[in-house]
Amino acid sequence: MNKQIISIGNDHAGTDLKNTILRHFNEKYIFINHGTNATDSVDYPDFVHPVATDVKKNQATFGILICGSANGVCMTANKHQEIRAGLAWNKEVASLIKQHNNANVICIPARFLNELEALEIIEIYINTKFEGGRHQNRIDKIPC
């Protein structure tokens, strides 16, 4: 069985959570790590654009982006035409961004979730299937 490839990126606020995610999922998935490994202040767009590029070039099945609130990484990722990044702060939203929006990048707010919550959110996102149908019609209308 081939392992899915996940592109992951983070700023300084997401370093610890990224390391937890890598440890937790490293036997199931292959990760391309575009995030900082330090906690010194950095600019999140520098880590978002490589993840978005991996996803849009099909070098990764999907992306995970982490910053303090997840707003900055989500806004930046969504500047890429082929990216549908969704900010997931709980399990229900994680399910819906995949089920209804077919999000190909999940954005996690490191300062507002504990490690267990974040891992559960990612697990639900990964295991949720896109419903298609009426949702596909709406997705087709997103690009400008």
- Map out the domains of the chain as residue ranges: 5-139
SS3 11: coil
Confidence check: pLDDT of 1 > 80 = no
135, 9, 137, 141: which is closest to 62 by C-alpha?
Answer: 9
67 flagged as catalytic: yes
What is the pLDDT of the chain when averaged over all its residues?
Answer: 97
Average pLDDT for residues 125-135, to the nearest whole number?
A: 96
Query: pTM of the full predicted structure?
Result: 0.97
CA 137, CA 23: separation in Å to the nearest integer? Answer: 38
What residues are paired with 9 via a beta bridge? Answer: 65
Choosing from 24, 34, 49, 67, which is the catalytic residue?
A: 67
* Rg of the chain over all Cα atoms, to the nearest angstrom: 14
Q: Are 134 and 126 in contact (CB under 8 A)?
A: no
Average pLDDT for residues 62-71, to the nearest whole number?
A: 98
How far from 114 is each of 14, 81, 117, 132, CA to CA, in Å?
12, 31, 5, 32
How far from 125 is each of 45, 120, 121, CA to CA, in Å?
23, 9, 6
CATH number of this structure's domain 5-139, picked from the four choices 2.102.10.10, 3.40.1400.10, 3.30.950.10, 3.10.20.740: 3.40.1400.10
- Residue 81 has a CB neighbour count (10 Å cut-off) of 11
Confidence check: pLDDT of 127 > 90 = yes
Average pLDDT for residues 17-43, to the nearest whole number?
A: 97
| pLDDT tens digits, 106-122 | 999 999 999 999 999 99
Choosing from 24, 49, 100, 135, which is the catalytic residue?
A: 100
34 flagged as catalytic: no
